[in-house]
Amino acid sequence: MDIGVYLPTGQAQWAAAGPRSLIEFARRAEQSGFCSLFVNDSLLTPRIEPLTMLAAVAPVTERIRLGTGALLPVLRRPVQTAQTLASVDQLSGGRLTVAVGAGFPGRFGRPLHELSQVPWERRFARLDETVALWRALWAGATEFRGAFHSFTELPPATRPFRTEGPPVWLGGATPAALARTGRHYDGWMPYPPDPADYATGLAAVRAAARQAGRAPESVTPALFVNVRIDRSARSARRVMDAYTRANYGLPLAETERIQAFALGTPQEVAATLARYTAAGAHHLVARLGALEPPDQLEQLDRLAAVTNLGST
């Protein structure tokens, strides 16, 4: 099993120490044995832009995988984004993984499309086509024809470090997203609150992959999970509640109906993560429930201990 962690790129998380503290966090994560560093994406809260963050981290790390989870392609022009992603893959020596999403209804979906002046309708088809355009550019295509993007002449593109380009994962757990993951994507990175839903979703992804003539095991089963390790479940919930209010403007009780959480003592957190791995998750990426940099580093160390990273 692979264990990764999110960089705390939201301004509320690094304001006390400054954004350069994120570089130290990245180095510490690699030294502690984590296999990946992920960044998330939004225009609705102040944060360090994710691809800028990964470009900064790439030269100061050596082996840890760098990822987006989830990048929102609607916020960027597709040809330029393909070049940026290829550049980060080159700078990192082929360590980039790109998890993408299309947003979801409500306060975290439609406003992003409005800011980007892109229609909300057919957002999933637009996402799939954008990824197809990226892959075509990385493969050296000189033209592309689609429903949303058409180019009769494409200039030579920046090639990724790897010939096939970075793996592209999809975040999402609707029936349509599961089918699309199995047909088109290299990995699946949802955040279901119930491990049983993860198992059901993964089975659907693998069935779709088989129907598309792909090997089911070619789709990496990943998980985005919020983690807080504390002296008691009550204490962990109190701190995580402050975190979700700062990050989303939502209380924990509301957020945990949407996302996966592992909260409590080291034993309780380990047990929750084990339920997801039993459901089939192979790559867990934890977002630490900590607003202050010293607490973030403490949580990083606790998670490394809980997952036995030091012994691997």
DSSP code of 79?
A: H
Residue 49 banded pLDDT, cuts 50, 70, 90: very high
The predicted structure's pLDDT at residue 285: 98
Q: Which of 271, 262, 277 is nearest to 230 (CA)?
A: 262
Angstrom CA distances, 78 to 112, 150, 180, 269, 294, stand at: 16, 11, 20, 39, 37
The predicted structure's pLDDT at residue 307: 96
Mean pLDDT score, 208-232? 98
Q: What is the pLDDT of residues 278-288, one digit of tens each?
A: 999 999 999 99
Q: Is 218 helix (H, G, I), strand (E, B) or coil?
A: helix
DSSP code of 165?
A: -
Mean pLDDT score, 19-47? 96
Angstrom CA distances, 18 to 12, 25, 30, 243, 286, stand at: 10, 12, 20, 18, 22
Asked if residue 270 has pLDDT above 70, the reply is: yes
Residue 27 banded pLDDT, cuts 50, 70, 90: very high
Mean pLDDT score, 188-212? 98
Residue 108 banded pLDDT, cuts 50, 70, 90: confident
Asked if residue 311 has pLDDT above 70, the reply is: no
Range scoring the smallest mean pLDDT among 4-13, 48-57, 97-106: 97-106
Residue 121 CB: number of other CB atoms within 10 A? 8
Contacts of 305 (CB under 8 A, 6+ apart): 266
More reliable by pLDDT, 108 or 53? 53
The predicted structure's pLDDT at residue 301: 98
Contacts of 148 (CB under 8 A, 6+ apart): 122, 125, 126, 129, 130
Residue 312 banded pLDDT, cuts 50, 70, 90: very low
Q: Which CATH superfamily is domain 2-311 in?
A: Luciferase-like domain (3.20.20.30)
Mean pLDDT score, 54-75? 97
Q: What is the pLDDT of residues 175-188, one digit of tens each?
A: 999 999 999 999 99
137: left (phi > 0), else alpha (psi -120 to 50), else beta?
A: alpha
pTM of the shown model: 0.96
